[in-house]
Amino acid sequence: MSTKNLNEKQKLFLEVLFEEAKGCPVTAKKLAGYSPTYSTTTLTSALAEEISELTHKFIAQSSTKAAYTMFDVMGTDDLLGAKERMAAAKDIMDRAGFVKTEKVEVKTEIPLFILPAKNT
């Protein structure tokens, strides 16, 4: 996480945000012991950098499950919801940085000529 100093409640908020609170900042705020009147927007704004970093880590960790989901869909005859599961898994993989790459190979029987630079 970032190098700024966090108090104990902020640390606890970040710990529970991706676990017990399942990403809900209002629930995480309650679990961390903040007052119900304390602004959730103020809290999340103050921790925006840390939340962003943890979100990237969460997506990276979720990419293995997404890869297994794709593999499972390929091996099953049950097509109910397969398209939606594949799309969701693909989105997670893309966001984690595992994008589909395409390779293009150029072959020619005629040699390529390199033209001289244009005179200006």
Specify the pTM: 0.62
Q: Which of 11, 33, 16 is nearest to 25 (CA)?
A: 16
Region 14-26 average pLDDT: 93
**Domain chopping of the chain, boundaries:** 1-46, 50-97
Percentage of the chain with pLDDT > 90? Answer: 38
Report whether pLDDT(32) > 80. Answer: yes
The pLDDT of residue 26: 96
